[in-house]
């Protein structure tokens, strides 16, 4: 972002209604000007009418030979309770062979159905069961499926546990990120209910525990504007050693939203809070228990690397060259990929960033189209790139609409090569 764009963004970021309106007007003006094509470090494989979803999950199998994917069955509109999303994976030469695993009616465009690997050759995803959302654990080889009584968000590295929360409460306060189903844990009439919050699901035993409730979160290191706000949790992720669970604690007052990043130590039963001031948008763990996040510290918005779960030591990454929000995924413990949102010309970018040297390498410059911009918060069908790397660092998977349709894209990466 340039200085003017950055200034305006800071003014409107916490007011999602104004932010969306300003963005749509700004991009609409530049729609009348000539545009340019997408550019990639290598030509991506494209699987049309498919997408994966959020950046925090790894769609690649342990051997990097298969890629989990959702496949659309409806045109561009918000999903209803009757709309099916196919769940499956791409494998074989050029990831060109589709295997259907199942179907779901509990999904959205941004986080899909939370389809992810769950260890031991299994995957798991959220499904609708009558009027409630649950989840299905599927053995990919045999097709054998087992129903879990609660929806999941993220699964621990060993596949034993999953995080869970009220998707109805999430949908109420972040439309387009939850599902069009109710649940028994939303307590929408309460600001910070003690009966709901972040749950831990035992996937083998099909049981769950309330890890931390919303009343506890609202009281923990209480801030002045928390008292009469609606609280909820979202964006959970286990550390790679399985000891910690990170999540975003958010609270709404009117149309203004504030966020902080919290890390819960499952061994010591204690919480750590990010040293941020009102804003954390996205984050990701590496194997060293470090976290990269886009957040505000000392009144500066930037990508920040925290050196451990306590988040008491940190450094800015790629700043000021990278000064806009994005979604992260680590390539190695010292490098991560991150995208941007579409700029005034509706082009989004994917960069590779070195935490130690601050070197920034452009991997993709991707065009979007006006019809895929969310017109309102209740028609949230935009397509973020959400870059995700294979474990060997040789492949980059991202969602995009540059082919004219929402598509799953898989791009080969070469060491130290970027777009000039």
pLDDT in tens, 205-244: 999 999 999 999 999 999 999 999 999 999 999 999 999 9
Q: Residue 5 burial by CB count (10 A; 0-12/13-18/19+): exposed, middle or buried?
A: middle
The total number of structural domains in the chain stands at 1
Alpha helices, H only, 31-166: none
Judge contact between 295 and 275, C-beta under 8 A.
no
Alpha-carbon distance of 132 to 139, in angstroms, equals 23
Residue 382 lies in a domain: yes
Alpha-carbon distance of 375 to 290, in angstroms, equals 36
pLDDT mean over 354-362: 97
Residue 359 lies in a domain: yes
- More confident of the two residues 63 and 30: 63
Phi, psi for 121 (deg, rounded to 5): 70, 20
Alpha-carbon distance of 304 to 246, in angstroms, equals 15
Give the CA count within 13 Å in the CB-facing half-sphere of 320: 5
pLDDT mean over 13-37: 71
The two three-digit tokens of residue 279, written as one number = 């804003």
Whether the per-residue pLDDT at 3 is higher than 80: the answer is no
Alpha-carbon distance of 351 to 391, in angstroms, equals 18
Judge contact between 383 and 367, C-beta under 8 A.
no
Q: What size, in residues, is the chain?
A: 420
Alpha-carbon distance of 93 to 106, in angstroms, equals 31
Residue with tokens 């988040």: 311
Residue 338 lies in a domain: yes
Q: Positive or negative, the Cα torsion across 230, 255, 339, 314?
A: negative
Domain ranges, residue 41:
36-55+327-420
Residue range 244-294, pLDDT digits in tens: 999 999 999 988 999 999 999 999 999 999 999 999 999 999 999 999 999
Residue 18 lies in a domain: no
Which pLDDT value is given to residue 64?
Answer: 97
Residue 232 lies in a domain: no
Q: What is the pTM of this model?
A: 0.94
Judge contact between 94 and 45, C-beta under 8 A.
yes
Judge contact between 41 and 411, C-beta under 8 A.
yes
Judge contact between 135 and 128, C-beta under 8 A.
no
Residue with tokens 């960033």: 353
Residue range 143-156, pLDDT digits in tens: 999 999 999 999 99
Beta bridge partners of 396: 389, 411
Residue with tokens 């199942």: 102
Whether the per-residue pLDDT at 29 is higher than 60: the answer is no
Judge contact between 388 and 59, C-beta under 8 A.
yes
Residue 411 lies in a domain: yes
Residue 374 lies in a domain: yes
The two three-digit tokens of residue 420, written as one number = 């000039």
Percent of the chain with pLDDT over 90: 89
The two three-digit tokens of residue 237, written as one number = 């992720």
Closest C-alpha among 352, 342, 244 to residue 290: 244
Whether the per-residue pLDDT at 33 is higher than 70: the answer is no
pLDDT mean over 354-365: 97
Residue 124 lies in a domain: no
Greatest Cα-to-Cα distance within the chain, rounded to the nearest angstrom = 58
């Amino acid at each position: 972002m340039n200085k003017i764009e950055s200034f305006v963004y800071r003014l409107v970021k916490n007011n999602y209604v104004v932010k969306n309106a300003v963005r749509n007007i700004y991009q609409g003006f530049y729609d009348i000007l000539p545009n340019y094509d997408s550019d990639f470090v290598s030509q991506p494989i494209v699987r049309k009418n498919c997408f994966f979803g959020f950046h925090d999950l790894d769609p690649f199998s342990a051997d990097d030979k298969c890629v989990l994917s959702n496949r659309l069955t409806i045109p561009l509109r918000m999903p209803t309770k009757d709309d099916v999303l196919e769940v499956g994976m791409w494998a074989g030469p050029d990831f060109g062979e589709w295997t259907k695993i199942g179907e779901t009616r509990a999904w959205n465009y941004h986080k899909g159905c939370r389809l992810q690997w769950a260890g031991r050759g299994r995957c798991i995803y959220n499904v609708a069961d009558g009027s409630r959302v649950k989840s299905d654990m599927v053995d990919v080889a045999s097709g054998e499926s087992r129903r879990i009584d609660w929806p999941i968000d993220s699964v621990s590295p060993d596949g034993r546990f999953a995080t869970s929360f009220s998707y109805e409460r999430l949908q109420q306060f972040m439309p387009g990120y939850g599902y069009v189903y109710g649940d028994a844990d939303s307590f929408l009439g309460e600001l910070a209910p003690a009966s709901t919050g972040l749950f831990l699901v035992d996937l083998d035993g099909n049981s769950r525990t309330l890890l931390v409730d919303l009343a506890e979160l609202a009281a923990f290191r209480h801030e002045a504007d928390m008292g009469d706000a609606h609280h909820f949790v979202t964006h959970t992720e286990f550390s790679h050693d399985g000891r910690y669970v990170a999540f975003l604690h958010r609270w709404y007052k009117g149309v203004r939203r504030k966020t902080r990043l919290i890390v819960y130590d499952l061994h010591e039963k204690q919480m750590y809070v990010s040293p941020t001031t009102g804003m954390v948008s996205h984050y990701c763990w590496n194997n060293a228990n470090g976290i990269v996040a886009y957040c505000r510290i000392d009144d500066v918005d930037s990508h920040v690397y925290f050196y451990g779960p306590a988040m008491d030591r940190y450094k800015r990454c790629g700043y000021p060259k990278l000064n806009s929000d994005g979604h992260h995924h680590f390539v190695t413990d010292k490098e991560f990929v991150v995208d941007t949102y579409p700029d005034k010309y509706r082009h989004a970018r994917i960069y590779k960033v070195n935490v130690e040297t601050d070197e920034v390498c452009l991997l993709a410059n991707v065009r979007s189209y006006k019809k895929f911009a969310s017109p309102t918060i209740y028609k949230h069908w935009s397509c973020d790139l959400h870059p995700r790397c294979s474990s060997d660092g040789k492949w980059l998977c991202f969602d995009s609409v540059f082919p004219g349709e929402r598509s799953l894209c898989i791009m080969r990466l070469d060491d130290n090569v970027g777009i000039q």
